[in-house]
Amino acid sequence: MLSTLRNAWKIPDLRKRILFTLLMLFIFRLGSSIPVPGIDTGYIADMFESQEGGVLDFLNLMAGGAFKQFTIFALNIYPYITASIILQLLTIAIPRLEALAKEGDEGRKKIAQYTRYATVVLALVQATAYSIGFFRNALIETDILSVIVVVVTLTAGTAFLMWLGEQITDKGIGNGISLIIFVGIVSRIPGGIFKVTNLFVEGFVNIFEIIAFLIVAVIIIAGVIAIQQGQRKIPVQYAKRVVGRKMYGGQSTHIPLKVLMAGVIPVIFATSILAFPQTLTLFFKGGFGDFVQKYFTMNSTIGTWIYSVLNVILIIFFTYFYTALQFNPIEYAKNLKQHGGFIPGIRPGRPTSEFLNRVTSRITIVGAIALAFISTLPVLLNTVTNLNIRFGGTALLIVVGVALETMKQIESQMLMRHYKGFLK
């Protein structure tokens, strides 16, 4: 891995992309330290201490500490993720959006534009809800102008992060949105280590519980790498054809169908959806809030099991959903037929698309179940230990998955320049 990075640094174009990515991520971390004007951050810190281990800690973890400090990036990139989920679901339900998705780059650009508009609207609603709702007592001044300043600042911060992520994707290395989440989580690791160390010194956890968590962490890392690298190779044969005086085709190749085409996107989507009802409890107290706290959070035994089951179901659903968006067996079979290719033993056309669909469904369920198990394992471990690792599994899963995908992108760039990387 270090050799790959060292060789990548020697390539001017890749070095420029890496530096650009690092610069954008540095700007993200810099903005995460700029507080929103007109907010008493001490009051918010006291709220976090009184609700330790709840949804506030989760939102703060994914925001890289910006939520607790209530900085300009307090909302982070999650309004964009929510908007993406909504638009992708509507693509299936609304024929107009489905037609746009099939129009190639121009259609995708139009859907991306709709996603940006939806992101700003969601960020505006969320910023307003936080400002005049849950964090109202944190406002230094409660006049309309002060509230507008806070709402506009939070909304602008999310819009800027969305732009920052798109710039990283276009001009840098890796997926910009995923890297922003990655950096936010990684920035909290030193604080997490310090917290566990204090728990150990004070006697709240023992060495065996820490070892158990480290073993689970190693299993997660190994599991993510295994399912990310796993693939089913479908043999393809191209028929010979004569064009003029030259003969083309006749070679054999294969279609590499990945076990987990969706990567860690299903985990991010599932986490965002499960955080929504917990976020509502910040604004609705009494019967509804108590119901959600008991049955849809990890603050109770029954809530932990319901949360785990819903997490598994959502991860499996989004794995299939995102795989269907990325790989279309009908289009693939059509292109294969047009270029004179066929799968040995399978007739071209519809039989080929049915075969590819069947194989994709079988390998996707393996990847989806493995992904759900790896994500849920630390949550269940938390029920039998005193370690406060409620979101450790999801965070570690995202970190390893994003790091692996980014390194694979670096290697694919290097392979084009005849370099050999560390991924086989």
Q: Are residues 129 and 209 in the same domain?
A: no
Q: Does 416 map to a domain?
A: no
Can you give the pLDDT at residue 306? Answer: 85
- Residue 413 domain-assigned (yes or no): no
pLDDT of residue 49: 72
**The total number of structural domains that make up the chain:** 2
234 and 104 both lie in a single domain: no
Give the residue with greater pLDDT, 247 vs 156. 156
Say what the pLDDT of residue 113 is: 92
Check residue 132 and report its DSSP letter.
Answer: I
Tell me if 154 is assigned to some domain: yes
Q: Which residues of 92-121 are buried (b: 16+ CB within 10 A; e: fewer)?
A: eeeeebeebbeeeeebeeebeebbbebbbe
Angle between helices 392-415 and 176-186 (to 10 degrees): 130
Report, in angstroms and rounded to the nearest whole number, the Rg of the chain calculated over CA atoms.
24
CA distance 63 to 100: 32
Which residues constitute the domain of residue 359?
Answer: 201-390
236 and 169 in one domain? no
Q: 340 and 207 share a domain?
A: yes
pLDDT at 104 > cutoff 90: no
| Sheet with 231-238, edge to edge strand ranges | 252-258, 231-238, 341-342
Q: Are residues 329 and 271 in the same domain?
A: yes
Mean pLDDT of 279-306: 72
Q: Give the chain's mean pLDDT.
A: 81
Quick check: is 400 in a domain?
no
Which of 187, 219, 239 terminates a domain? The answer is: 187
| Over residues 130-147, mean pLDDT | 83
Q: How confident is the model over 14-26, as pLDDT tens digits? A: 889 999 999 999 9
Are 178 and 235 contained in the same domain?
no
Same domain, 267 and 210: yes
Report, as an integer, the average pLDDT of 300-312.
81
62: pLDDT confidence band, cut at 50, 70 and 90?
low
Q: Are residues 217 and 140 in the same domain?
A: no
22 part of a folded domain: yes
Percent residues over pLDDT 90 in the chain: 16
Give, in order, the Cα–Cα distances in Å from 41 to each of 68, 156, 390.
8, 19, 25
Q: Are residues 339 and 382 in the same domain?
A: yes
Q: Do 30 and 165 have their domain in common?
A: yes
Of these ranges, 265-274, 378-387, 391-400, the one predicted with the greatest mean pLDDT is 265-274
What's the mean pLDDT in 357-376?
A: 88
In a domain, 30, yes or no: yes
Query: Are 171 and 314 in a shared domain?
Result: no
Per-residue confidence band for 424, with pLDDT thresholds at 50, 70 and 90: very low
pLDDT per position as a tens digit, 169-187? 999 888 898 899 888 888 8
Q: Which residues contact 389 (CB under 8 A, 6 or more apart)?
A: 213, 378, 381, 382
> Cα–Cα distance between 109 and 107 in angstroms, integer?
5
Q: Does one domain contain both 260 and 365?
A: yes
Asked if residue 411 is part of any domain, the answer here is no
**Least confident interval from 158-167, 345-354, 386-395:** 386-395
- Which pLDDT belongs to residue 283? 65
Mean pLDDT of the region 321-330: 84
Angle between helices 12-31 and 392-415 (to 10 degrees): 160
- pLDDT tens track for 218-262: 887 887 788 878 888 888 887 766 666 665 556 778 888 888 888
Query: For position 3, which CATH number holds?
Result: 1.10.3370.10
pLDDT at 160: 95
Question: Measured between alpha carbons, how far is 206 from 385 in angstroms, rounded to an integer?
Answer: 9
Average pLDDT over residues 345-370: 89
What does the pLDDT read at residue 413?
Answer: 77
Q: Residues 162, 116: contact at Cβ < 8 Å?
A: yes
Q: Which of 128, 159, 187 is the last residue of a domain?
A: 187
**pTM as predicted:** 0.76
Position 250 scores a pLDDT of 61
Q: Which of 124, 159, 187 is the last residue of a domain?
A: 187
Q: Residue 380's pLDDT is what?
A: 67
Asked whether residue 236 is domain-assigned, the answer is: yes
